[in-house]
């Protein structure tokens, strides 16, 4: 199975659990690219709180520094736009 497909399967598995915790928050990949921030795999929002999740396949090497920096910019951008407390978690 290709790496992309494995990652997508992981996202599907996690999204079923994660999206029960809050209202699913979809961040456009096109918008993320235009702002030069990282794409968001999964996220939810409730009141003034947002939680962002990066899903990595267990066989992957984890979050690389460049990817971490992009995702940090995404988290900062979302916190500013929604004026919310935000947290970030890597799942495998």
Tell me the two tokens of residue 88. Answer: 């970030």
Domain enclosing residue 62, as ranges: 3-91
Q: 54: part of which helix (H) or strand (E)?
A: strand 49-55
What number is the average pLDDT over the span 60-81? 88
Return the higher-pLDDT residue of 58 and 30. Answer: 30
pLDDT of residue 58: 67
Tell me the two tokens of residue 23. Answer: 């209202």
Cβ atoms 13, 49 nearer than 8 A: no
* Number of domains forming the structure of the chain: 1
pLDDT tens digits for range 4-41: 555 566 677 778 787 788 999 999 999 999 999 989 99
Q: Is the pLDDT of residue 44 over 60?
A: yes
pLDDT of residue 64: 83
User: pTM to 2 decimals?
Assistant: 0.80
CATH number for the domain spanning 42: value is 3.40.1350.10
């Amino acid at each position: 199975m290709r790496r992309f497909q494995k990652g997508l399967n992981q996202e599907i598995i996690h999204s079923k659990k994660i999206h029960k915790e809050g209202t699913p928050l979809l961040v456009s990949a096109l918008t993320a690219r235009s702002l030069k921030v990282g794409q968001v795999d999964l996220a939810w929002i409730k009141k003034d709180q947002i939680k962002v999740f990066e899903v990595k396949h267990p066989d992957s090497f984890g979050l690389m520094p460049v990817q971490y920096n992009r995702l940090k910019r995404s988290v900062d951008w979302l916190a500013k736009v929604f004026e919310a407390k935000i947290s970030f978690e890597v799942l495998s």
